[in-house]
Structure 1
Amino acid sequence: MFGIGIVTVEDRTSVTRSIGVAWKPSFETCFVIIADISLSSSMNRFIACARDGINANAIIPGGSGRNLGASGSRFECASYHSVESTRPNKIRSQIKYGANMTTDNMKIPAVGLGTWAWGDSGSSGDGYFGSTLTRTGLEELADRAHAAGFTLWDTAVVYGMGRSETVLGEVLKRFARSDFQLSTKFTPQAAGTGDDPMADMLEQSLARLGTDYIDLYWIHNPGDVARWTPHLIPLLESGKIKHVGLSNHNLSQIVQANQILGDAGYSVEAIQNHYSMLHRNSDQNGILDFCTKEGIPFFAYMVLEQGALTGKYNPQNPLPEGSNRAQAYNAKLPQMKSLTDRLGSIGRSHGAEAPDVAVAWAIAKGATPIIGVTKPNHIDGLGRAAAIVLSNDDIVELEALALAANVDTRGWWEQEM
Structure 2
Amino acid sequence: MSPIANLQTVTLGPGGLVVPALGVGTWAWGDSLFWDYGKAYSDSDLSAAFDACLDAGLTLFDTAEIYGFGQSERLIGRFMQQRPQQAAQPPVVATKYFPLPWRFSKQSVADALAASLDRLQVASVALYQVHQPVSFLLSQKDLMQALAAEVKRGRIGAVGVSNYSATQMREAHGYLAEQGVPLAVNQVQYSLLHRKPETNGIIDTARELGVTILAYSPLAQGLLTGKYTPEADLKPAGARWLDPRFSQSGLTKLMPVIGALKEIGEKRDRTPAQVALNWLVAQGNVMPIPGAKNARQAAQNAGALGWQLTTDELEQLDQLTQRYC
- Write the distance in 2 (CA, Å) between the matches of 1:100 and 1:370: 12
Matched residue, 1:257: 172
**Do residues 96 (structure 1) and 11 (structure 2) align?**
no
Which residue of structure 2 aligns with residue 387 of structure 1? 306
Matched residue, 2:85: 176
Q: State yes or no: 1:356 paired with 2:264.
A: no
CA distance in structure 1 between the partners assigned to 2:302 and 2:28 by the alignment: 21
Structure 1 residue identity aligned to 2:85 = A
- Counterparts in 2 of 1:181 and 1:222: CA distance versus 1, 3 Å: same
User: 1:216: Cα distance to partner?
Assistant: 0.4
Q: Distance in 1 between matches of 2:227 and 2:102?
A: 37
Q: Report which of the two has the higher share of helix.
A: 2
Q: What's the offset of the Cα at 1:378?
A: 1.9
Paired residue type of 2:6: K
Partner of 1:151: 59
Distance 1:292 1:358 in 2: 22
Match for 1:128 among 34, 38, 52? 34
1:393-404 aligned at under 5 Å gives the runs 393-404=312-323
Give the C-alpha shift of residue 399 in structure 1.
Answer: 2.4
Residues 1:277 and 2:195 aligned together: no
The alpha carbon displacement at 1:192 in A equals: 4.0
Q: Which residue of 2 aligns with 1:47?
A: none
Report the Cα distance in structure 2 between the residues aligned to 1:188 and 1:302, rounded to whole angstroms: 22
Q: Give the equivalent residue in structure 2 for 1:74.
A: none
Q: Do the aligned partners of residues 98 and 154 (structure 1) sit closer, same or farther apart at CA in structure 2, a change above 3 Å counting?
A: farther
Distance in structure 1 (CA, Å) of the matches to 2:66 and 2:74:
12
Aligned-partner Cα distance in 2 for 1:176–1:183: 18
Alignment check: 8 A CA contact 2:133 2:163 kept: yes
| Residues 94-121 of structure 1 deviation map (CA, whole Å, 9 limit, x = unaligned) | 7523667686241232101111111324
Give the Cα–Cα distance (whole angstroms) in 2 for the partners of residues 245 and 101 of structure 1: 13
- In 1, are the aligned partners of 2:106 and 2:142 still within 8 Å (CA)? no
Deviations 1:160-194 (A, max 9, x none): 11111111211121143861110000111476467
Contact 2:170 2:205 (C-alpha < 8 Å) held by counterparts: no
Q: 1: distance between equivalents of 2:314 and 2:157?
A: 36
Range with greater deviation from structure 2 (367-376 or 101-110): 101-110
Structure 2 unmatched ranges of 5 or more: none
CA contact (8 A) 2:158 2:184 kept: yes
**In the alignment, which residue of structure 1 is the partner of 2:75?**
167
8 A Cα contact 1:94 1:386, kept in partner: no
CA contact (8 A) 2:92 2:126 kept: yes
* Displacement of 1:395: 1.7
Deviations along 1:321-352, one digit per CA (max 9) or x if unpaired, are 5x222212423322212211221121111101
Correspondence 1:238 to 2:153: yes
TM-score normalised by L of structure 1: 0.69
Once the 2 structures are TM-superposed, how far is the Cα of residue 240 of structure 1 from its aligned partner?
0.7
More strand by share: 1
Q: Aligned pair count?
A: 310
Counterparts of 2:218 and 2:102, CA distance in 1: 28
Cα distance in structure 2, aligned partners of 1:364 and 1:388: 10
Deviation at 1:228, TM superposition (A): 2.2
Task: Please say which structure displays the higher CA radius of gyration.
Answer: 1
1:11-410 mapped onto 2 (5 Å cutoff)? 95-97=5-7, 104-121=15-32, 127-131=33-37, 132-173=40-81, 174-176=83-85, 179-189=90-100, 192=103, 196-224=107-135, 225-315=140-230, 316-321=232-237, 323-328=238-243, 329-331=245-247, 332-366=250-284, 367-404=286-323
Evaluate the alpha carbon distance shift between residue 157 and residue 214 of structure 1 in structure 2; reply closer, same or farther with a 3 A threshold: same
Which one-letter code corresponds to 1:128 in the other structure? F
Tell me how far apart the structure 2 counterparts of residues 290 and 99 of structure 1 sit (CA, whole Å). 21
CA contact (8 A) 1:118 1:133 kept: no
Letter of the structure 2 residue corresponding to residue 386 of structure 1: L
Q: 1:334 to 1:138 in 2, by over 3 A?
A: same
TM-score (norm 2): 0.87
Cα distance in 2 for partners of 1:195, 1:226 equals 10
Greater Cα shift, 358-367 or 171-180: 171-180
Report how far residue 212 of structure 1 moved: 1.0
Q: 2:225, 2:273 within 8 Å by CA — same for their partners in 1?
A: yes
Measure how far apart 1:128 and its partner are.
0.7
Whole-angstrom CA distance in 2 between matches of 1:98 and 1:202:
31
Which amino acid in structure 2 is aligned with residue 180 of structure 1?
Answer: P
The structural deviation recorded for 1:383 is 3.0
Please list every run of 5 or more consecutive structure 1 residues that lacks an aligned counterpart in the other structure: 1-26, 28-80, 82-92, 122-126, 409-417
- State the alpha-carbon separation in 2 of the partners of residues 236 and 345 from structure 1: 46
Change in Cα spacing, 1:203 to 1:369, as seen in structure 2 (3 Å) is same
What secondary structure, in the 3-state scheme, does the structure 2 residue paired with 1:372 have?
Answer: coil
